[in-house]
Structure 1
Amino acid sequence: MDYLVIMAGGSGTRLWPMSRKSRPKQFQKIIGDKTLLQNMFNYAKLILPTQNIFVMAPISFEQEIRKELPELPSQNFFSEPSAKDNGPAVILASAKLFAKDKEAYVGILWSDHFIKNPGNFKKAFKVAFRAVREFPDYLITIGVKPTSADTELGYIKIAKEVKEYPEGSLYKVAGFKEKPTLAFAKKYLSSWEYLWNTGYKIFSAKMLLSEFRRLYPELEKPVEEIIQAIGSAREEEVIVRNWQSFPRLSIEYLLTDKLSKILVVPADLEWSDIGNWQKLHEVLAYESGHHMVVKGHHIGIDDENCLIYSEEKMIATLGLKDMVIVETSDVIFIAHKQRAHEVKKILEKLKEEGKYFYL
């Protein structure tokens, strides 16, 4: 059977100070009147029925997720004992679904993405789930044609076409390029061979767990213990006990980069990874048709190409260009738009000075 798992455990630090440890970006109404998580849940419902959609996140987020997604069946929340990047979380979700269904086909989604063309999103996943049945030894991913020379995203290099379906085509993956230099990003933009890597993955749970055991034989026992304990009274205790054995790595570094059998479905999703303030400005400017993007209280004169976000206070500006200004109840963040993605430097400085309250 087919399943979707929405990964909702990210901390969203590059959208600080709006996105905080206690309430990261996936729980924020950044675009429109729904949170990013609610939007992704609605996208997922276009593909599969609600009972086949799961959400994976640290246990500390469970209450917020249940509040935002009242339709989510109680058993469809998968909890991580603690945040360890997304690699172990994908393995744990796969183990849980494999224990439930030995023929499980799993699609991994991310809670902080924005999709302008959900119809094509549905078509791409229809192709991917069909393809993974025909090629069960392969991991299927979904890529989108670049629209800019973005150095903050990963790229997929495609090779020959493998198969054509009514809803789209399937290509062999020649390789991955993670966060290239601007020169290479410009080259990829002008080439038909490169796609943005959305991070969506579709696979047989049996295949993924088998490959994980092959690559990490020292973790075969912990994985097997977890699978055997799923559904029993010991499940939580066994997962917690074995969790520390798993490395803190993204699924790309943990597994995807080490696989040779990968196929990609190119799709026109009008897709955005809302990863930083500059990317959010691009999306909101596109949505509104205006380069001055304002959310909240603002009065300005002769400003150009700015993102201004205010929770409470009136923000008054004069003659600003290419700036990001974010006001929350306890922080005011001001940065040039081209450097706003470096906000992690601010967070590191706050940690150095012991000002953890602001994280």
Structure 2
Amino acid sequence: MSRVSEEAVRAALHGVLDPELRRPIDELGMLRSVTVDGGRVTVGVLLTIAGCPLRGTIEQDVTAALRSVPGVEETAVDLDVMTPEQRKELKERLRPGRGIPFSRPDSLTKVFAVASGKGGVGKSSVTVNLACELAARGLRVGIVDADVHGFSVPGLLGATGTPTQVDDMILPPLAHGVKVISIGMFVQGNQPVVWRGPMLHRALEQFLGDVYFGDLDVLFLDLPPGTGDVAISVSQLLPNAELLVVTTPQAAAAEVAERAGTVSAQTGQRVAGVIENMSGLTLPDGTVMEVFGSGGGQRVAERLTAALGTPVPLLGQVPLDVGLRAGGDAGTPIVLSDPGSPAAVALRTIADRLAAVPRNLSGRRLGVTPAV
């Protein structure tokens, strides 16, 4: 019988990620002990909280890692809970400084605030599909459902998990590879949230500062329609966020969407582009019915370019597609459920353009020292 080394066991366990933090358990201080006795290996694992909802997943992943080590015949996983001191160390390791990490000068996360002038243009569906498409490419993606009064992101993503709270740190659920937080995860049933400006600002501030997203490549904020309190709060809390303006081809919707984009002239934010949703319905005979008219997205892009004095491109036109609605109802976005559909292809093209947007390094520390 080959001898099992503790080094081999620890190497295998390094590949076990905490399902919420997405970091190796040994780096998080969760690996308490490793005992090797011939072919039997016993591992002690510390959970962050006593009621950890994913304790079963952690135990299964640890067991699978142990069984992958040659010579291991028996395994045992001893679960315990971190002490307050150990949780404090964990939080300090994850969040060395308080505040909003995405607003720090050295943050390299692309932040897109998805806005619309009015409701019903499919802004949330576009947000969710773009996030899932980028996550499917291997990027680390998060969504903040900033539409507190009209939250819909959890349902569109099929996110049924509840956030785990480690003292004052909140761990967001993961759905289709996307980390997501929404006020809808904290209310019972379909109860309405009746809050005014200061409460909305505080909720957004908590979502951005107290929720641990980790090192994201892209963060989407699904804003409520219009140019009210939340849009102003985003400009204050995340001044480097770029706006994505969603409209339909309809002239009335385009006119209102233009206002949502021109608010950036007052906040100093950049408009990354315009997305036209519901641009046309392809009929069985191949013809396209323009249910909501045509040209609204292009008009918004042109008017914003003129008003802001900087190029605002039309990033893409997403056609009307029953599958887009059905995917949202089922909690499986169309870019995943039917990637070959016209709507999914259009959304993927938009994702290509967003992924190509360079990160703004102005004023950010690069961590290099010039040679003398």
What is the TM-score with the length of structure 2 in the denominator?
A: 0.25
Larger Rg: 2
Between 1 and 2, higher relative CO (CA 8 Å, sep ≥ 6) is seen in: 1
Structure number with higher strand proportion:
1
What is the TM-score with the length of structure 1 in the denominator?
A: 0.25
